[in-house]
Amino acid sequence: MTVQKLLDTTHLPLSAGDTAGQALVRLRDEDTQHLPVVDVSGRLIGLVSEEALEAQVDPSLPLVGLVSGDPVSVAPDTHVFDAAHQMHQHALSVLPVVDVTQQYLGLVERQTLFGQLAHMLATEEPGAIVVLDIPRRDYSLGRLVHLVEQNDVRILSIATEDDHAAGVVRVTLKLNVTDTARVRHLMEHYDYRITAVFDESDSDMQSRIEAFLRYLEV
pLDDT digit string, tens, across residues 72-85: 999 999 999 999 99
pLDDT digit string, tens, across residues 174-197: 999 988 888 888 889 889 999 988
Residues 96 and 13 in one domain: yes
Largest CA distance in the chain: 70
Residues 109 and 9 in one domain: yes
- Nearest 5 degrees, angle CA 74-CA 80-CA 84? 75
User: For position 203, what pLDDT does the model report?
Assistant: 46
Domain end position, chosen among 113, 136, 160: 113
pLDDT digit string, tens, across residues 20-57: 999 999 999 999 999 999 999 999 999 999 998 998 88
CATH number of the domain at 37, please: 3.10.580.10
Q: DSSP H helical segments within the chain, as ranges?
A: 20-29, 50-54, 80-89, 110-120, 141-149, 181-189, 205-217
The count of structural domains within the chain is 2
CATH number of the domain at 157, please: 3.30.2130.10
Residues 12 and 89 in one domain: yes
Residues 106 and 164 in one domain: no
Q: Which of 5-14, 175-184, 199-208 has the least mean pLDDT?
A: 199-208
Residues 102 and 13 in one domain: yes
Rounded distance between C-alpha atoms, residue 83 and residue 90, angstroms: 11
Residues 132 and 81 in one domain: no
> Is the distance from CB of 127 to CB of 178 less than 8 angstroms?
yes
User: For position 181, what pLDDT does the model report?
Assistant: 86
Domain end position, chosen among 62, 91, 113: 113
User: For position 211, what pLDDT does the model report?
Assistant: 59
Rounded distance between C-alpha atoms, residue 115 and residue 165, angstroms: 30
Rounded distance between C-alpha atoms, residue 188 and residue 198, angstroms: 16
Residues 141 and 75 in one domain: no
Let me know how long the chain is: 218
- Nearest 5 degrees, angle CA 40-CA 98-CA 44? 30
What domain range includes position 17?
3-113
**Local confidence band at 125 (pLDDT 50, 70, 90 cut-offs):** confident
Q: Is the pLDDT of residue 200 over 70?
A: no
Residues 189 and 154 in one domain: yes
Domain end position, chosen among 62, 80, 113: 113
Residues 10 and 109 in one domain: yes
Residues 131 and 208 in one domain: yes
> Is the distance from CB of 145 to CB of 155 less than 8 angstroms?
yes
**Local confidence band at 105 (pLDDT 50, 70, 90 cut-offs):** very high
Report which of 198, 150, 192, 142 is spatially closest to residue 174, judged by C-alpha positions: 198
Residues 155 and 183 in one domain: yes
List, edge to edge, every strand of the sheet that includes 155-163: 155-163, 168-175, 129-135, 193-198
Q: What is the mean pLDDT of residues 94-121?
A: 93
Rounded distance between C-alpha atoms, residue 19 and residue 101, angstroms: 25
Residues 181 and 158 in one domain: yes
